[in-house]
Structure 1
Amino acid sequence: MKSHGSSLAKDLKLLINNSVYSDLKIVCEDNETLYGCRAILAARSEVLDKLLFNGMKESKQNEIKFPEIKSCAMKIILEFLYTDEVNYTAFTPNNIIDTFHAADYFQLPDLQDQLVEYVKKELNGGNNNQVLAPELLSNAVRKMSASAENDLIKLLTEHVALISLDTVKYGELSFQGLQCLLSQTFTTKEPFATPEYTVFRYTVIQAAKHVSDEASYLFEKRLPALSKIDEAHRFDDDQSKYEEIRETITEILSSILPYIDLRRIDVNVLADIIEPLGIIPVNVLLDTYRFQAKEKRSLAPIRGTPLYKWDLQWDIRARGINLVLRDENHIVESPKSGQSGHHNIRANKMISGEGIYEWDVTIEETCTYAWVGVCTERGLDYSLFAGQQSCAWVLGSSGKCYHNNIGTNYVAEFGNGTNITVHLNMTDKTIAFSINGIRYPNVSAWKNLPSKLYPVASLNPPGRIRIG
C-alpha cells in the first residue's frame, strides 16, 4: 500500500468531504451536510472566493448553505474542485442536471463543457435516446426554467426535435419541457421530425392529461392521429362533459399556443377539426385563415428542415436476379449457391424534395462485403457491385465508402448484427451514417447528390440485410 505523498491526485481525494481535514460545513438543499476546505474551494471558484472571503457573515462562520443545490451534485462539484476530475459513472438522468446547474452557479465553465460532452456521447451512443432526451430536457427545464439559455438546454432541444412526438409517451416529456422545445424551435432551420398538426395534437392532449384522464380521452377522440385524419369520427360522449373542461384546457394552452404555427396546418383540418374544439382564440384563427387565403397555401407542414423517418421494404421488381426476399420484403438474402459477385436491390420508395430522410438497415449476416446507401432512379446495373457505378453511393461493412469505383475510409470495419441509420439530407445534398447509434460526419467526398434517389443495398453470398 502506497503512503501519502506518492500521488497528488490520490492525496487530494482524501480531503474530499472529510470532516477531519475540513474547516467548513456545506448544507445542501436536501439538508445533507458535506465538508470542505475554505482555501481550496476559494482558490478553485471565484464565486466561492467571494462568498468565503468577503468579510460578510459567511467568511466568519464555519457553515454555508446552498438551498438550491442537492448533495449529489455538490459531491461531484467538490471532486472536480479538489482534483479537476469527474466520476461519470455516478451520473443519472436526475443528478447530471443538478450538477450542471451547480456548475453554472459556481461559474465552472470547464466542468459545464465536460458535462455537455458527456450528455452528447450518451445521446449519440445508445438506443435509449428516445426516452433519455425528453427526460433530461424535462429535468433541465424543471431545474433551470424553460427560458434558460445554455449549451445543455440547446443540445437536449436539438435531440428531442429529432424525435417524432407521436412516439413520445405523455409524461416522458413534461409540459414545461414541451414548451421549451417549441419556443426554441419555432423559427428553427434545424432538423425537426414532427408535423405541426401532430405538435398541436400532442400539446392539447398533454394539457388535457393535466386535468384528468377523462379530459384526455375526450380530446383524443376529437383530434385523430394524422394517419387517421381523413376517417369519419363520431363523438358519443356527453357534450356537456366536454364543455366543462374546455375553458380549463384553453387557459393551460395560452402559454404555449404562441409557439405552435397554425399556418403549417392544412386549412381544411383547421376548419373541420381544430376550430370546432373552441380552444383557439378567434383572432388567432382569423389571422391564420387570412395568411392562407393571401398566400393561397399553407406553410410547409413541418417547421425547420423536415426530418422524415421511413419504414421501407425492398422492391421485388428492382433487384439482382438471384436475390431472395423474405419477411414481407423487409429482408434481402443472397443464397449461398447460384450467384457470384455482388448483386444489388433497391427499396420501394423514391426520395425527392427537400428535407432529411432517415431509414434503418441491419446487417443480419455480412459477406465480403455488405453495402448500403443510395442510387439514382435510372442507370443501376443490378448484377454489378453498386460501388463501382457512377449512379450509386454506398457504405460497406469494410468501413469504406464507395462511389464510381473510388473508395474512402469512413469507419472501422463492422460485422453481423450491426445497425446502420442512413441520414440523407436532400436540402444540402449530403449523406451521413450512424453505426450502432453513433452518428458519423457527412461523407466528405460525396457532395451535390442527385435530386431523386432510392435506398440501395449490394451483397453477395451469404449476405442478409434487413431494412426498416
Structure 2
Amino acid sequence: MTRGYSLERDFRLLINNPKYSDIEILCEDEKKFHGCKAILAARSEVFDRLLYNGMKESHEKQISFPKISSAGIEFILEYIYTGSIKEESLTKDNMIETFYAANYFQLVELENFITKTFKIILKKNCTENCSPELLSKFAEKIPLIEDNIFLNLLVEMVAVIPLNNIEFGRLSISGLQYLLSCTYDKDKPFATPEYEVFRYGAILLQSKFLDGNQLDGITVHLDMNKRTCAFTVNGKKYSKVLDWNNLPSKLYPVVSFNHPARLRIEPHQKCVCSKYVWDELECGSNALIEDNGKIVCLQSKTKSWRNVRVKMMLEGKSIFEWDVIIEKACVDTFVGVCAPENLSYEFWAGRQPTGWVLSTNGHCFNHEKGSSYCPPFGDGARITVHLDMNKRTCAFTVNGTKYPEVSAWNNLPPKLYPVVSFNHPAQLRIQSHQKSI
C-alpha cells in the first residue's frame, strides 16, 4: 500500500499496532489494545492528563480502564486516529458502551455523532424501537445528567410508549425510575396512566426480588391424558418419572414439608405475547395482510413461495408459544421461525440457513435439509409452536398432538421471529397460544 496520499488511511495503520505504540490499554473485559501516547494525548485532554501528569502513570507502559469495555475502547481508538467511525458499525448492542467511552474521554463530537446515528437508526427501523433497552443500559452505566442530549432523546422516545407495550426485561428498574423522574410533574408527553405505571413497577420489583433471593422454583408438568408427570427445577426441565406408571385418573397437587419451610403455589405462566401480528414491512412481494395483522395470504400465485414474519422479536430466556391456524392450505405450507438477518422473503424459508420451518407434509426443514417429524396435515390445522429460548429448542403441537423437540435444529440463534412460507391460495392466521390452567 502506497503511503502519503491519504492522512486518514495512513493513520488507520497505527490503530492497535504494537510496532508504532508505546502504551498498552487494558479494558473492563481484560482485553488489551496498543496505543501511541502522543496521539492519544493530542486528541483527548483526559488522555493528556493521565499520560503526561508527571506522576508514575506517565512512566508506566500500561494504563487500565476497568469500567470501559473493549468495544468502547476500539471505537475510541478509531475515532482518535482517523477522526471518524462508520455509522453502520454502531448498533444497539455497542452504542451505550461507545457513548460512555466518548463521554469519559470528553470527545463531544463523537457523542453528537452517536446521538445522530441513533436518530437515523430509529427512522430506518421504526418498528423496532430499542429505546427501552438503551435507556436501561444508560441508567446503569452513565451518570444521569439532565442536559445530556442523547439521554433526553431516549427519555422522550420511551415516554410515548405505553408501558404495557414494553415487554418485561426490556426496561430495567433504574431505567423506569429515571424515566419517571424526568416526566413526573413536568411538561413532557407520557403515554401510561398512573395505575399501569404502578402495576408495571410492582411486577419489575417482584421479579428483581425473586432473582436477588435465588428462590427455588419447581414446575410440575402433569399429563392426565398419558398419566405421566415431569418436573422443571430452576428452569431446567427433566424427563417424566418412569417409576410413576400407576397414576390414577384423579389427582390433587400436594406438598410435604416441615418448619421452617415456606412454600408458594401458583399457576405456571409461560411467556404469552399478545402482539403476534404479521409485519407488513417484513414480507415477500404480493403478500396481503388483513384483520389487523392476524391473517396473511397472497393476492395471486407466484413462482416461488413467499415468507412473512411477525413484528415482535423473541429473545431472552423465556418460553414462547403461539398458534398458526391454516385456514386454507396450498401445496406445501410452512410454519416456524427465522433469524433477524439474512432471510430473503422472496423464496422458501426452509431452503435458507436462517429459516427453520415445519411443512404440511410433516417434515422439518433448515438450509434444504429435511427430516420426518409428524403425519401430514392441511386445511383447518392448528399448529402450536413451542420455542424455548433458554435451551434454544423448538417443538410443535399439531391438531392437539404434541411432538418432541426437533433434534436437527441445534443451531437456533439467540434472537428469532415467527415466520411462515406459503403460496396462493393459502391463508394463515396467527394468535397467542392460550393454554388452559
Q: TM-score range by the shorter chain?
A: 0.3 to 0.5
> Please, what TM-score do these two structures have when normalized by structure 1?
0.44
> Please, what TM-score do these two structures have when normalized by structure 2?
0.47
